[in-house]
Structure 1
């Protein structure tokens, strides 16, 4: 019985840590959002969910933001999305 209780506690603690790790928030500079909102970029279609952490394939063109090498953007399914250009993952869905 003690082994079961210890195993359950270990599982709870390990899952709690995993959930915490996934809630990391990236603080995006306001000028990055403003730049992306003003761009006239056509929307591309992407099958699947577009959410923080989604990785885009190489077929989706990520646009550069001047003087902001850590951020890129794409308009996907009519939503403006900030992307980490190195990992191609979504940082924030703007609108």
Structure 2
């Protein structure tokens, strides 16, 4: 019985640590955020409305949403509900919302 409990506890701790790493905020340096803001001002996009998608960090955007490149930045951006959203292009998850 003890062996099963220890194994279960170890498994729980492993899953909890993986979840904590996945939930960490992406840190964008102030200089990089300034570059992004200036680029977005120069290249404004029409805002899209996404029914059923919560605009939260970690939320995934559907494949139908076109992501736009910012030169020298690893993330892409889109304007959703008049808010600029930075997205990880590999996972399509929101990493930062810039108001």
Shared fold (TM-score, shorter chain, > 0.5): yes
In the alignment, structure 1 residue 75 sits paired with structure 2 residue 79: yes
User: Which secondary structure does the structure 2 equivalent of 1:81 belong to?
Assistant: strand
Query: Could you say what the CA RMSD is over the residues aligned between the two structures, in angstroms?
Result: 2.4
In the alignment, structure 1 residue 60 sits paired with structure 2 residue 59: no
- TM-score where L is the length of structure 2: 0.70
In the alignment, structure 1 residue 15 sits paired with structure 2 residue 15: yes
* 5+ long unaligned stretches in structure 1: none
* 5+ long unaligned stretches in structure 2: none
User: Which secondary structure does the structure 2 equivalent of 1:80 belong to?
Assistant: strand
- TM-score where L is the length of structure 1: 0.72
User: Are the equivalent residues in 2 in contact too, given 1:84–1:90 (CA < 8 A)?
Assistant: yes
* Structure 1 residue corresponding to 2:34, chosen from 31, 37, 46: 31
